[in-house]
Chains A and B, each alone.
Chain A
């Protein structure tokens, strides 16, 4: 079946760049997403990339997609303490006429002041 994998934990110093990686198995993915979940809150859609794109930049966030290797990454430039959260990668594909989304297990980002 479809699988999305992420490392569980990442620690960076404030001001450094963070890179969160994700791999997925479904070659028919249409969209790939990054979500942020702060403690006690629901998920916030940070950014998404269509599967025919290689890169998307949005302010401090850069998403890179290597479709051949089925590898997605999220780079956060100038990481701040407010970026501490769990980051989920997800992929979606059309299944039975609907967009079906599969989530990774999440990467906990700890930003050290």
Chain B
């Protein structure tokens, strides 16, 4: 029953390191998203992609980049990790047609930057 998987559940990195978070979905969804979740702030959209090689900035893209080379895979990259990027990162994929919504989230990656 695998739908959206994320490469790691927990990750600890040092300040300045380059970090890759991988997300894979098996539902052939066009849309994929990266969010971060912080207490009291809900989910905030970092980047999203509506097709292969396409990407759009969300509300908080600074310090992040993304890559979507294949439809099923959407990667989030922290070029130089900083302590304020310590957070829970959630990937999602979705399908939206007239009157019908399908969306799944991955289990999340809890990233700690020391």
Contacts and interface: CB of A to CB of B under 8 A. Distances in A.
Interface of A: 4, 31, 33, 35, 40-45, 48, 50, 88, 90, 96, 98-101, 103-106
A88 B43 contact: yes
B46 to A, nearest CB: 13
Given A88-B43, A98-B50, A99-B96, A42 B101 contact: no
Of all A-B residue pairs in the complex, the 7 with the closest CB atoms, nearest first, are A42-B105, A105-B42, A103-B43, A103-B42, A43-B105, A45-B103, A42-B107
Binding site secondary structure of chain A: strand
B2 interface: no
A48 B96 CA distance: 12
Of B41, B42, B99, most A-chain CB atoms within 10 Å: B42
28 contacts: A4-B42, A33-B101, A35-B105, A40-B107, A41-B108, A42-B90, A42-B92, A42-B105, A43-B90, A43-B92, A43-B105, A45-B101, A48-B101, A88-B42, A88-B43, A98-B48, A99-B31, A99-B96, A100-B45, A103-B35, A103-B42, A103-B43, A103-B44, A104-B42, A105-B40, A105-B41, A105-B42, A106-B42
Nearest to B99: A50
Contact of A45 (B48, B99, B104): B104
Contacts of B96: 99
Interface in B20-70: 31, 35, 40-45, 48, 50, 56
